[in-house]
């Protein structure tokens, strides 16, 4: 009796598309290659049909990429330490566990919202925020020390202060959020307050 290969889901295709979007954003693929592979991804019915489009890319590992968050969320659940927050064609809001001191957020044609307003005094958190035709929003408390070392190519990085947060300076025990990452035709925005 021959073995039947299971069909892949729309989520599997979306995760594969996210790998392709990241690859074009990093310069690993041209837009023409991206479009060709994306067509192959969305026409694939099984994992073996999906593998060739991802085989030579980081995160592709010759098969469908690891599971990522691709659905809207109404609450802000806590994300386990070290787990990246990723979205493609949607929006997710998370309150990440920052015990590891690092959070990765990636938005491709969607939005990731990180709530870091509950950081402890003296906490130092590195946020790697990457957006490709999407946006990453980081919410912090007034007085949080911000360091942005990220870059943007035809994109934007900004800090927006609520009226109530204006003029609030960091104290010696204030938490520090260090931003890095890259924005391509997207936006990385920090909301203070």
131 SS3 class: strand
Question: Across the chain, what does the average pLDDT equal?
Answer: 82
Query: How does residue 88 score in pLDDT terms, banded at 50, 70 and 90?
Result: confident
The per-residue pLDDT for 190 is 94
Q: pTM to 2 decimals? A: 0.58
The per-residue pLDDT for 18 is 83
Give the helix ranges, DSSP H, for 44-158: 47-54
Is pLDDT at 65 greater than 50 in this prediction?
no
Which are the contacts of 50, defined by CB distance < 8 A and separation ≥ 6? 8, 12, 13, 16, 41, 44, 63, 64
Instruction: Answer for the pair 26, 57: CB distance below 8 angstroms, yes or no.
Output: no
Tokens linked to 121: 């005094």
The per-residue pLDDT for 2 is 55
Q: What is the mean pLDDT of residues 111-129?
A: 92
The per-residue pLDDT for 161 is 86
Centre a 10 Å sphere on the Cβ of residue 6 and count the other Cβ atoms it contains.
8
Is pLDDT at 17 greater than 70 in this prediction?
yes
Is pLDDT at 192 greater than 50 in this prediction?
yes
- What is the H or E stretch that residue 191 is in? strand 187-192
Model pLDDT for residues 142-183, shown as the tens digit of each residue: 999 999 999 998 889 999 888 877 878 888 889 999 999 999
Tokens linked to 172: 């010696």
Instruction: Answer for the pair 160, 189: CB distance below 8 angstroms, yes or no.
Output: yes
Tokens 């204006």: give the residue. Answer: 166
The per-residue pLDDT for 76 is 43
Q: What is the mean pLDDT of residues 115-141?
A: 92
């Amino acid at each position: 009796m021959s073995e039947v290969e299971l069909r892949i889901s729309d989520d599997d295709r979306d995760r594969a598309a996210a790998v392709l979007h990241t690859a074009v954003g990093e310069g690993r693929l041209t837009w023409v290659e991206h479009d060709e592979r994306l067509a192959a991804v969305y026409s694939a019915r099984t994992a073996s049909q999906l593998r060739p489009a991802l085989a030579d890319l980081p995160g592709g590992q010759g098969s469908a990429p690891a599971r990522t968050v691709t659905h809207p969320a109404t609450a802000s659940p806590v994300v386990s330490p070290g787990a990246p927050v990723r979205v493609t064609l949607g929006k997710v809001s998370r309150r990440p566990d920052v015990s590891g001191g690092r959070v990765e957020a990636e938005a491709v044609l969607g939005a990731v919202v990180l709530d870091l307003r509950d950081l402890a005094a003296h906490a130092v958190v590195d946020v790697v925020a990457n957006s490709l035709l999407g946006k990453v929003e980081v919410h912090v408390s007034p007085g949080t020390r911000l360091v942005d070392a990220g870059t943007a190519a035809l994109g934007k990085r900004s800090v927006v202060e609520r009226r109530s947060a204006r003029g609030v300076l960091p104290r010696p025990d204030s938490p520090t959020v260090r931003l890095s990452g890259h924005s391509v035709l997207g936006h990385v925005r920090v909301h203070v307050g």
